[in-house]
């Protein structure tokens, strides 16, 4: 068991790490199949367990998973994925505004979704062109609402609605994206039998919610005409690529009337973060973590992970707590590419953990390695599967000399099965207080 000691601590989150057996990785999960000598050495020096990130039967989005791992309630504490994404790209949200996470998507013209990510080939530059045209069209001017689309990374973006008249808007509206269900401030993954763009409805009986739902539906309808005739899509069609002719929006949110307690006020220690995506940067801002935003990984994984390792060590030397978020394993999971997911995990072990651990005295720090959710390649989406947890360092007794950092060994580990809300307490030397 972990003994309380005031040592620097790092929580390293490998996005979408958890997985299931897959035929392309020899009937093992990509994690089980991966060669991970550095993580295995940490597992032998520490303890393993597994985490039910939010709760049984809940397949959380990344933001919900991170909120849980940092000891916050994703349903009641999170301002919503839209707000987090908006803060992550420095949109100046006001108290009357709402923001929604947005995907550019491909439909068949009748609302059936052909690809929710435009084949993952839409470049950030292309999405910025599309977003600029949608914003310039001022599609809700006749509703007294300013509508701005801000592209973030690839197919991703934010829809920001600001009322020019008529009072504040309400975030109590449903998703148009059928792959996610809104539960309070949390997004939960779904697997619709017939994926089609959904009508947005009010989730409460207020006039503000009714107005907001109607405005989003109208925006999506009008946006379709702008996208259909756009030069970006004309170029993509001529090149034989999927076109971005629809928008999927989800998890509307608004700024909370009362700010959340900061990480420092909750845990009594300053914290910093290394983030790659706007949503994680938004979480860092909401919780008052000093953020080093490095942006998405480029084509050179080795250089990218080594740079992330360098910055993470720098932060760990300057702050009592560091949260590191590495996106790598999630995308090949969504794409159903188990072999690539295995390669990414091996790259993280070699190119991130290798240099990160070089010269690090584990008797003077404590590390936890886990995931914000599982993204099994066999499912091509998030699941509620438990994810591995590794805790090692000062005060952590070694319990298994022969082990591999993977799902099967984690399920048998000394830490047992805990909830995401108990992970930080375990890392910081407090007994887990939340049962599985």
SS (H, E, C) the chain: CCCCCCCCEEEEEECCEECCCEHHHCCECHHHHCCCHHHHHHHHHCEEEEEECCCCCCCECHHHHHHHHCCCCCCCCCCCHHHHHHHHCCCCCCCCCEEEEEEEEEECCCCEEEECCHHHCCCHHHHHHHHHHHHHCCCCHHHCEEEEEEECCCCEEEEEEEECCCCCCCCCECCCCCCEEEECCEEEECCCCCCECCCCCECCCCHHHHHHHHHHHHHHHHHHHHHHCCHHHHHHHHCCCCCCCEEEEEEEECCCCCCCCCHHHHHCCCEEEEECCHHHHHHHHHHCCEEEECCCCCCCHHHHHHHHHHHHHHHHCCCCEEEEEECCCHHHHHCCCHHHHHHHHHHHHHHHHHHHHCCCCCCCCEEEEECCCECCCCCCCCECCCEEEEEEECCCCCCCCCCCCCHHHHHCCCCEEEEHHHHHHHHHCCCCCCCC
| Residues contacting 147, CB < 8 A, separation 6+ | 134, 135, 138, 139, 140, 159, 160, 161, 162, 215, 219
C-alpha to C-alpha distance for 189 and 19, rounded to whole angstroms: 15
For residue 187, what pLDDT band results from cuts at 50, 70 and 90? Answer: confident
Mean pLDDT value across the chain: 94
**For the CA atoms of 342, 273, 371, 298, what is the dihedral angle to 10 degrees?**
-20
Pick from 51, 38, 50, 43: which is nearest to 398 by CA?
43
pLDDT in tens, 219-273: 999 999 999 999 999 999 999 999 999 999 999 999 998 999 999 999 999 999 9
pLDDT recorded at residue 128: 98
Question: pLDDT tens for residues 59-118?
Answer: 999 999 999 999 999 999 999 999 999 999 999 999 999 999 999 999 997 889 999 999
pLDDT at 133 over 80: yes
Q: Which residue has the tokens 């994984």?
A: 301
Structure tokens at 56: 């049984």
pLDDT over 90 percentage in the chain: 91
| pLDDT at residue 2, rounded to an integer | 41
Distance CA 150, CA 294 (A): 19
pTM score above 0.85: yes
pLDDT beyond 50 at 433: no
- List, for residues 5-20, the tens digit of each pLDDT value: 479 999 999 999 999 9
pLDDT tens for 26-58 read 999 999 999 999 999 999 999 999 999 999 999
Quote the pLDDT of residue 430: 57
Low-confidence winner among 13-27, 144-158, 254-268, 340-354 (lowest mean pLDDT): 254-268
Look at residues 371, 366, 377, 287 and name the one whose alpha carbon lies nearest to residue 331.
377
Phi, psi (5° rounding) for residue 64?
-65, -40
Nearest to 371, CA basis, from 16, 27, 134, 10: 16
Q: Are 332 and 22 in contact (CB under 8 A)?
A: no
Give me the domains of the chain, ranges plus CATH numbers.
Answer: 9-77+260-428 (3.40.720.10), 83-253 (no CATH)
In this structure, the number of other CB atoms found within 10 A of the CB of residue 306 comes to 17
Based on its alpha-carbon atoms, the radius of gyration of the chain, rounded to whole angstroms, reads 22
Encoded tokens for 325: 């978020």
**Tens digits of residue pLDDT in 375-409:** 999 999 999 999 999 999 999 999 877 789 999 99
State yes or no: pLDDT of 160 exceeds 50: yes
pLDDT over 70 for what percent of the chain?
97
**pLDDT at position 434:** 33
Q: Of 39, 32, 76, which Cα lies nearest the Cα of 54?
A: 76
Q: Looking at residue 45, what is its pLDDT?
A: 95
């Amino acid at each position: 068991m972990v003994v309380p000691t005031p040592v620097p601590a790092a929580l390293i989150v490998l996005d979408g790490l958890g997985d299931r057996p897959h035929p392309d990785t020899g009937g093992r999960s990509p994690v089980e199949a991966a060669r991970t000598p550095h993580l295995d050495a940490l597992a032998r020096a520490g303890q393993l367990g597994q985490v039910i990130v939010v709760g049984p039967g809940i397949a959380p989005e990344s933001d919900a998973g991170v909120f849980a791992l940092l000891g916050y309630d994703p349903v009641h504490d999170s301002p919503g994925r839209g707000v987090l994404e908006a803060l992550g790209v420095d949109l100046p949200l006001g108290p009357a505004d709402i923001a929604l996470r947005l995907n550019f998507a491909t439909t068949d013209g009748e609302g059936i979704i052909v690809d929710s990510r435009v084949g993952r080939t839409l470049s950030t530059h292309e999405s910025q062109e599309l977003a600029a045209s949608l914003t310039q069209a001022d599609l809700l001017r006749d509703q007294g609402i300013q509508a701005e689309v801000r592209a973030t990374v690839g197919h991703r973006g934010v829809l920001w609605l600001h009322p020019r008249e008529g009072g504040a808007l309400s975030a109590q509206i449903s998703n148009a994206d059928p792959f996610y269900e809104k539960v309070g401030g949390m997004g939960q993954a779904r697997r619709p039998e017939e994926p089609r763009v959904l009508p947005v409805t009010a989730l409460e009986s207020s006039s503000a919610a009714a107005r907001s739902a109607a405005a989003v539906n109208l925006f999506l309808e009008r946006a379709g005409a702008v996208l259909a005739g756009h030069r970006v899509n004309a170029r993509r069609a001529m090149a034989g690529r999927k076109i971005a002719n629809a928008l999927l929006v989800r998890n509307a949110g608004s700024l909370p009337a009362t700010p959340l307690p900061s990480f420092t006020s909750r845990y009594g220690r300053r914290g910093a973060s290394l983030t790659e995506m706007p949503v994680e940067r938004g979480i860092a801002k909401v919780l008052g973590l000093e953020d080093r935003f490095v942006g998405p990984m480029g084509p050179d994984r080795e250089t990218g992970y080594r740079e992330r390792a360098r910055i993470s060590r720098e932060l760990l030397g300057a702050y009592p707590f560091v949260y590191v978020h590495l996106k790598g394993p999630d995308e090949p999971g969504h794409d159903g590419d188990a072999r690539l997911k295995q390669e990414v995990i091996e790259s993280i072990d070699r190119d991130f953990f290798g240099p990160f651990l070089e010269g690090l005295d584990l008797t003077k720090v404590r590390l936890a390695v886990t995931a914000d959710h599982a993204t099994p390649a066999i499912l091509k989406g998030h699941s509620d599967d438990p994810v591995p947890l590794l805790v090692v360092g000062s005060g952590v007794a070694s319990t298994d000399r022969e082990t591999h950092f993977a799902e099967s060994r984690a399920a048998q580990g000394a830490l047992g099965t805990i909830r995401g809300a108990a992970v930080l307490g375990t890392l910081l030397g407090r007994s887990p207080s939340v049962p599985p």
